[in-house]
Structure 1
Amino acid sequence: MALANKTTTLAPETVLEESKHGLFHQPIAVWAVFFASITAFMGMGLVNPVLPTIADNLEASKSEVTLLFTSYNAVMAFAMLITGAISSRIGQKGTLMLGIAVIATVAGFASQADSIWTLVALRGGWGLGNALFVATALAAIVSLSSGGTAKAIILYEAAVGLGISIGPLLGGTLGSITWRAPFMGVATIMVIAFLVLLFLMPKPVTTTTAPRQKISLLAPFQAMKHRSLLTLGIVAALYNVGFFTIMAYAPFVMKLPAQGLGFVFLGWGMLLAITSVLTAPKLKQWLGTIKAMVLMLLLFAVLLLLMGIFTETPAVVIVCVILAGAVLGNNNTLITTAVMDAAPVERSTASAAYSFLRFLGAAIAPFMAGKLAEIFNANLPFYVGSGFVLLSVVIIGVNLKHIRHIDTIDSGH
């Protein structure tokens, strides 16, 4: 069954029904996807702490190592455009399991790689698997949840935060043995996630006997004709430049061993997870989605600016990276919730279009940061990242009339 179209005013009985269900009162299928999402994002964070070690062992430059994120995000961005079409043909469960199987396979091969370019190519395959999983997981949790869209997205972002926080700690621990161990760890974790979905997620995600509606490959492009969705996608692409400057470049300036980097990103991810669940809904209630997003983006720009000013002081960079987790946790939940109701299109299509734009920014940032550091100085990548985040605030201001209705939806009017 196709996911629900844009939500406007909920019927009183629907509101009453949703109010009966707390955040943690969910069907077993939701928890299966939740667990699998944690493992998928653990795979992303597992690699962070070993980036400097990979550079040393494979005799690669910083910019070459950052290509591990660029190839991953670039493939993921374009693959997002086909996730809806695939999911509508083989089902959400089949798409999730296919994505996990791809990740497990390429991670296993990556653990045996003997050159940076082999790793870069395999990370591209990893991006394909993650695209199949990520876009479908968000749509699956929303459609399966018993507590409404907002609560489902909070759960999804919590899974993202937990995965990103646990992954680096595990990656740092394994990476202290050998840089190859985290990749083998990803492969093992993905096999576990595959089995969880196989046995705990029901085959039919829907209860209808109607034929599954096939989604066109052009659907995400058609969805981007809606100015509201396009605006939020561009905003996400711009602030993801800052996000992945931290993910892919900051490990090189913190001057910590693999395990130390693991603990830093553990703190970053824990704050991301906590704020996704606890403070983002409060900010949305107090300020409205748009004002809260602008506030978080401005704070993020300030943190990146401080990292640029104090790049040669690792302690300041470490503190700013950890604090950035709180800002990003809030903003991720706010903007993802907004996207789900931004345009009158199916949520899976909205997610695919938004994610395509979002990960284009994520693809640009890592290699750009590495090159800026090599050509100019170590501080410039953070200044440029801050500038991109500030530009996202400008985009919100210029397009305010096209996204103002999001706050109207939030207030139930």
Structure 2
Amino acid sequence: MPEIDPFFRLAVALAIGLMVGIERGWQSREAEDGARAAGLRTFGLSGLLGGISGALTTQLGPQIVGIAFLAFTAAFGAFSWLEARTKGTASATSMIAGMLTFLLGAMATVGDITVAIAAAVSMTVLLALRLQLHSWLAAITWVEIRAGLILMVMSFLLLPLLPNRAIDPWGAVNLREVWLLAIMLALISFAGYVAVRLFGDRLGIIVAAAAGGLASSTAATLTFARLAREQPGTVNLLVGGILISGAVMPLRVAAIASMLNPALLRPLVVPLATGSVMLGAIAGLFVFGMHGKPADHPAPRLAIANPLVVGTSLALSCIIVGVMLAAEFMRQVWGDAGVLAVAALSGIADVDAITLSMARMDMTVPLATQAILLAVAVNTTSKATMAAWVGGLAVGLRVGLASAAALTAAGAAYFWLG
């Protein structure tokens, strides 16, 4: 078996080059023969050249790889320059891909073959996603890029400076932990924000509503309700969108709470999933059973603020601190009833702060579960009220009845578990 190993490694080096060459050759498939610097055969040979250079290190020393790499880079660069001069365009992508193919071929023979294959696959995927990556980049605004950069700077520079200990007399608030929670929630919400920005207008109401629920189900509810008032003929469709966004919210709550405190997964997942499924099923009736295909109607534009704005994250951190202090103070004064009162009040506007607080505070699992479920129930009722206020009686009745059915199902599931 050992004598076969060098052949296998060289075969992997050749395969790496061929894989990259297929992608590069396909991208330039319309070019005439001799009009491109490198294609399938060239990249295949580049990987094999790197592999042979690596294999020769046992006889000629490690410097052979460096010498061969410099010679390869010079030759490849010269032909790339001639191609760019002929076409009147310039791109370093193929040049860098060729250099990396050579090095990965060498790595396949003298290094970790699994890492070499993984790196080659990653490179090929990046090369193949050229148009998609450019379109995604074009869709991002400078404000969003700047917010992300500032947030990263604050996270990596400020986070080590924050005290990793409780700062209040009750031992409830750890600033470093609060900041980490705020960053995590902002990133989760940012995924929904990006989905709305990129796909909301293209894939229709279902994707827009689901992404809106991931980012902010309250914002999605207000947006759909307003559109339902303006477009009475699409009430059922837009009510379906409200219910879809509402169905995503409990799943997000369960995911966040269980990631922070795995003990909360079992008591939360069944009632929250039951309510979510009920809302999703009723939403399906509104979207498909009562109003045709969602693609027949224009997708809404969801007005969701960028959650990676630094001010938003700081405000969220302050809210989390406030909820933690209020919950601990109320528990000290009125016991469990005080914590549930804070959860109910917090749930009127938002469920994230109370979810994060309950998942991280030092309290029993049953109490944390009750507080989170109460906040979700109050928030669901609050959004039904908002839908009626903004969208009118027709929207409010539909959303209210569906929400009542979901809360009843979730409550039954919770008491059944208990």
Name the TM-score, length of structure 1 as normaliser. 0.26
Please state which structure has a larger fraction of its residues in helix: 2
Of structures 1 and 2, the larger Rg is shown by: 2
Highest RCO, 1 vs 2 (Cα 8 Å, sep ≥ 6): 1
